[in-house]
Amino acid sequence: MTTFDDKPKDECGVVAVFAPEQHAAKLAFYSLQSIQHRGQESAGLAASDGQHLLVHKDMGLVARVFDESSLAALEGHLSIGHVRYSTAGSSIWANAQPAFTETASGTPLVLAHNGNLTNTGELRELIGDPQESDKCTSDSLLLTTLLKTRHNGSTLDTLVEVLPLVTGAFSLTLADNQAIYAARDPHGVRPLMLGRLPDGGWVLASETCGLDIVGAIVVREIEPGEAIRIDEQGIESRRFAEPTPKFCAFEYVYIARPDHQTAETSVYRARFEMGKMLAEQYPVNADVVIGVPDSGAAAASGYAFASGIPYAEALQKNRYVGRTFIQPTQALRQLGIRMKLNPIHDMIDGKRLVVVDDSIVRGNTSRQLMDMLRRAGAKEIHLLVSSPPVKWPCFYGIDMASRAELIAADMTTAQMAEYLGADSVGYLSVEGLIKSTGRAAKSLCVACFTGEYPIAVEDSQMLAGRPEPIRQP
Ligand code: SF4
């Protein structure tokens, strides 16, 4: 993968399908492909026909990992899947998911996890056997091992017993030979949606696009603190903790696809509202509004709508760069952002620009972008950001950077404008971001903007400024 992209990255996406008399893995494949944006380092599917539970996973994109024959081998009416970008644990095959284990009584179990666990030290102690926990090279494998060691014959009962011991962010899909399962941490930090298939059966996916693609009707979110089991009899729902929702505000800003629909709003509408609010909070005299593809586009449209300044798609994305395993040469890598974006000169030359981006993390990309726009003839550049300054790292599953690397952690907007090469830099307020989501402030996590972490993080992780760097095998 290219290495010059300094946007935040989500750790993972998960899916699950229970589809009697259908090839569930094929449905899960399409569902997984539609949430590919949540992780591009590895992909995997597991499936069971009620007798045998098979897993196929590898490094790379979904379309590269699976072909007709590997999918055909994953027979059965139930399946779960996972795409991964690593934040805790390194980018190695052993950390690709679904993770497989077998309980003492011989029950095979697979698990797919989106999020980041914040009490991994405690989980190691709960596992008890250092030899077992030392084999775990990611937080997800620690949870799988804990479920294996505590398995009491019923996977749902085991989840209800074990999950209260786990702290952090987790949206999970699991399967054994009998059923699929799903669970979401009590704060519901990461999304997890449930849908009904047209021919009967059920599908779960991190985002609604994973349901839409297989023709499923959105039923509801898995509730924070809820664990469910799905089999021929239908859904059995159990609560393992009281819900205290703290949904990740960054899912609205950047991570989720614009067509993901939450109970309150679509992600597109939230981004459009962010842009409208940014226009109120940061009015500028300009000739044209442009959005940084892809996630800046909706907010730029909102800014243009509210300000009356014309909107133009003046940055063309090179869509297939970064979707290949041909590594760019050093000389090409130095071209940086040019590998991904190309300016449309006559939309920029001699113009005063409002450039709307969703976030600035380390600032490398923004700096290159400002330089590219100046070379294309921009007269003025006002870089407006449709989220508040990211000043704190995330411990709940988004790879931001450590605090020392975050450009907004200790620069004023004036210093930032000078450093990046913009005429001015403006950010949306935390209140504006919250309002644009249509959610109550108390139901959102905004910790990377405020430093107020809603879920306890072990000291070792907090001091490192990152999720626990899980040991190498
Ligand atoms: S810290 Fe930021 S990125 Fe992490 S869960 Fe909270 S809002 Fe999302």
The percent of residues in the chain predicted with pLDDT above 70, rounded, is: 91
Q: How far is CA 404 from CA 97, 390, 400, 410, 432, in A?
A: 31, 12, 11, 9, 26
Average pLDDT over residues 386-410: 89
Which residues face 109 on adjacent strands? 101
> How do beta strands 9-10 and 398-399 pair?
antiparallel
DSSP string over 211-280: HHTTTPEEEEEPPTTEEEEEETTEEEEEESS-----EEHHIIIIIS-TT-B-SS-BHHHHHHHHHHHHHH
Query: Are the C-beta atoms of 75 and 385 separated by less than 8 Å?
Result: no
* Predicted local distance difference test score (pLDDT) of residue 471: 43
Nearest-atom index, ligand 1, CA of 8: 3
Query: Which residue, among 198, 178, 209, has the nearest Cα to 109 in the 3D structure?
Result: 178
pLDDT of 88 > 80? The answer is no
Which residues face 238 on adjacent strands? 227
* Predicted local distance difference test score (pLDDT) of residue 3: 28
Q: Where are the beta strands (DSSP E) in 132-197?
A: 171-175, 180-184, 193-196
* Predicted local distance difference test score (pLDDT) of residue 469: 47
Rounded CA gap, 310 and 288, in Å?
5
Residue 238 CB contacts under 8 Å (≥ 6 apart), including other chains:
156, 159, 160, 226, 227, 228
Kindly report the CATH class assigned to 266-318+328-437.
alpha beta
pLDDT tens, residue by residue, 405-421: 889 998 999 999 999 99
* Predicted local distance difference test score (pLDDT) of residue 269: 97
Rounded CA gap, 255 and 446, in Å?
14
pLDDT of 81 > 90? The answer is yes
pLDDT interval class at 194 (50, 70, 90): very high
Nearest-atom index, ligand 1, CA of 395: 4
Least confident span in 237-246, 332-341, 437-446: 332-341
Q: Taking the domains of the chain in order of start, what are their residue ranges?
A: 9-246, 266-318+328-437
Mean pLDDT, the chain, as a whole number?
91
What sign for the dihedral angle of Cα 253, 255, 260, 263? negative
pLDDT of 128 > 50? The answer is yes
If you measure from the C-alpha of residue 290 to the centroid of ligand 1, how many angstroms do you get, rounded to a whole number?
26
> Which has more confidence, 19 or 402?
19
Q: How far is CA 73 from CA 1, 47, 265, 453, in A?
A: 29, 9, 39, 44
pLDDT of 64 > 90? The answer is yes
Protein residue with least CA distance to atom 5, ligand 1: 248
> How do beta strands 42-48 and 53-59 pair?
antiparallel
> Which residues are the active-site residues?
12
pLDDT interval class at 86 (50, 70, 90): low
* Predicted local distance difference test score (pLDDT) of residue 85: 81
If you measure from the C-alpha of residue 181 to the centroid of ligand 1, how many angstroms do you get, rounded to a whole number?
25
Q: Rank 2-11, 83-92, 195-204 by mean pLDDT and report only the highest.
A: 195-204
If you measure from the C-alpha of residue 266 to the centroid of ligand 1, how many angstroms do you get, rounded to a whole number?
18
Average pLDDT over residues 222-235: 97
Rounded CA gap, 97 and 17, in Å?
16
pLDDT of 473 > 50? The answer is no
* Predicted local distance difference test score (pLDDT) of residue 330: 64
The percent of residues in the chain predicted with pLDDT above 90, rounded, is: 77
Cis peptide before 358 (omega within 30 of 0): no
Q: Residue for token digits 């969703």?
A: 358
pLDDT of 324 > 70? The answer is no
* Predicted local distance difference test score (pLDDT) of residue 202: 98
Query: Are the C-beta atoms of 183 and 165 separated by less than 8 Å?
Result: no
In a mutational test of the pocket of ligand 1, which residue from 387, 394, 442, 457 has the highest number of ligand atoms less than 8 Å from its CB?
394
Average pLDDT over residues 314-328: 70
pLDDT of 208 > 80? The answer is yes
Average pLDDT over residues 15-32: 97
Rounded CA gap, 338 and 406, in Å?
23
Q: Residues near ligand 1 with C-beta < 6 Å?
A: 189, 248-250, 394, 396, 398, 445-448
* Predicted local distance difference test score (pLDDT) of residue 470: 46
Average pLDDT over residues 312-316: 94
The CATH fold of domain 9-246? Glutamine Phosphoribosylpyrophosphate, subunit 1, domain 1 (3.60.20)
